[in-house]
Structure 1
Amino acid sequence: MPELPEVETTCRGIRPAISDRVLTAVRVRNGRLRVPVPPDLGERAEGERLLGVRRRAKYLLLDFSSGSVIVHLGMSGSLRVVDPALPPGTHDHVDLVFGDVALRLRDPRRFGLVVWQPGEGLAHPMLAGLGIEPLEDEFTGTWLSREFKGLRAPIKLALMDGRRVVGVGNIYASESLFRARIHPLVPAGEVGPRRIARLVDAVRETLQLAIAAGGSTLRDFVGGDGRKGYFQQDYFVYGRDALACRVCGTPVVKAVVGQRSTFFCPKCQRR
């Protein structure tokens, strides 16, 4: 699933092409996504000038004066800038046309969504209960220690809980915990403030490096410009089970935590 770096990469990639342009057409070829595309989306948004493009967690918001188009890329989707005349592929379900350019949603599994929120986009129920952004100043060791106090859940699951911290999915949780030298199975409430502070720095570093690399391309993801990300080339542990740790040489271990594959170095990452 595209995580925060992939969505941020998409946001930065599409913004220059459509900023301050008028939405001239909405073309829905298959509206049967995870959340059905509203049949009146075109009536609500066509003719509106785009005021801005932003990301909240793993959602993209295209802001207009009367509301926002909210896009989620689902499990394997991408949102690209294309020529509106380019023939669509089998999985190209929605085009948002801005004159001579279009945003095209490709979603093979149809787990994504394109919805309309009147007024402030962040008021949509899917976004209203989300947690803190890990790249904002409010995400500090003090804050995270307070959030994790008393928690018995494994720290990896706590870090991936979008009600606390948004956008840190399976890949980047594994990589951040490695950089912080914290075992993913240790109860979150047992990790002291110094190690929590180190984890906050590791999350920021990991996400920033991934964004700079255009995210990770696993299966179908490409950025708004059609380019693949390459952060997967720099993974320390994710997907490297039985391979030598890049730091100490110990074989990387794979475990299942919360029904998700988890990767760690048993020597570098202590409980």
Structure 2
Amino acid sequence: MPELPEVEVTRRGLMPLLGAEVSEVIIRQPALRWPIPAQLPGLLQGQRLLGLSRRGKYIVADFEPGSLILHLGMSGRLCLLERDQPAEKHDHFDLHFKDGRVMRLRDPRRFGAVLWAGQQPEQHVLLKVLGPEPLDDSFTGEMLYQAIRTRSSPIKTVIMDSHLVVGVGNIYASESLFRAAIHPQTPARSLSLAQCQRLVAEIKATLQAALQAGGSSLRDFFGADGNPGYFQQTYFVYGRDGEACRQCGSAILNLRLGQRSTFYCPFCQPAN
């Protein structure tokens, strides 16, 4: 699934569309994770794209009548194309603009979303429950320390909880915990303030490094311009089970936490 860096890379790739006027809305397959609202053509035709922001793994596209919420799901992409590029089998939704460009949702597994959020997108049911952005100043080691005082679940599953902090998915949770030298099974409430401060710093550093590399291209992800990301080439642990740790040479191990594969180094991330 595309995580925060991949969604942010997608958003940035769509920024050239700001100010463009919608000429046509095409819904080819409305049956995504939630049905695409049938009234979108009437709402958006003739409207200019006023803003593009991101909240967690959601992209919010602002128009004068209200905002559109877009989610890439498990395998989706938002592509910036020219109008003469024909639609393919898994192309479900288009925004055509008067200047000839098209924003197209391509989603083979149809777990993505195109939803109407009206004038207050921050109050939409999917957005209002989200925790702070990990790259914002409000996400600090002290905040994390206080938030997990009563949580006995493994720290890896806790930092993937979008109610606590958004956008730290499976890849970047594993990578951040390695960088912070914290075993993924460590009960969250047992972390010290110093460990929380180190973990927050490494979450921020990992996400920033991924953004600079264009995100991670695993299976389906490409940016809006069709280019892949390269962060996967520098992973310390994710997907590297059985390979040598880049720091100590020990074999990277894989365990299941919360039904997700979790990768770690037993030497660099010793269990408590």
TM-score range, shorter chain: over 0.9
SS in 2 for 1:13: helix
Cα distance in 1 for residues equivalent to 2:33 and 2:138: 32
Task: Report 1:60-79 matches (<5 A).
Answer: 60-79=59-78
SS in 2 for 1:138: coil
1:220 is displaced (CA, Å) by 1.1
2:132 — aligned with what?
A: 132
1:120 is displaced (CA, Å) by 1.7
1:58 is displaced (CA, Å) by 0.2
2:177 — aligned with what?
A: 177
1:112 — aligned with what?
A: 112
TM-score when normalising by structure 2: 0.98
SS in 1 for 2:105: strand
1:26 — aligned with what?
A: 25
1:122 is displaced (CA, Å) by 1.6
Task: Tell me if structure 2 keeps the 8 A contact 1:63–1:121.
Answer: no
What stretches of structure 2 of length at least 5 have no aligned partner? Answer: none
1:83 — aligned with what?
A: 82
Task: Report 1:124-203 matches (<5 A).
Answer: 124-203=124-203
Cα distance in 1 for residues equivalent to 2:19 and 2:121: 18
Residues 206-240 of structure 1: per-residue CA shift (max 9 Å, x gap):
00010111110111110011101110000000000
Q: What amino acid is aligned across from residue 70 of structure 2 in structure 1?
A: V
Cα distance in 2 for residues equivalent to 1:164 and 1:23: 36
1:46 — aligned with what?
A: 45
Q: What amino acid is aligned across from residue 107 of structure 2 in structure 1?
A: D
RMSD value over aligned CA atoms? 0.7
Runs of 4+ in 1 over 4 A off after TM superposition: none
Task: Tell me if structure 2 keeps the 8 A contact 1:37–1:114.
Answer: yes
1:64 is displaced (CA, Å) by 1.0
TM-score when normalising by structure 1: 0.98
2:251 — aligned with what?
A: 251
What stretches of structure 1 of length at least 5 have no aligned partner? Answer: none
Cα distance in 2 for residues equivalent to 1:218 and 1:5: 13
Cα distance in 2 for residues equivalent to 1:266 and 1:174: 13
Identity %: 52
Aligned length: 270
1:150 is displaced (CA, Å) by 2.0
Residues 58-112 of structure 1: per-residue CA shift (max 9 Å, x gap):
0001001221111000000000100122111100111111121010110000000
Cα distance in 1 for residues equivalent to 2:117 and 2:159: 28
Cα distance in 2 for residues equivalent to 1:130 and 1:172: 18
Question: Aligned pair 1:208/2:204, yes or no?
Answer: no
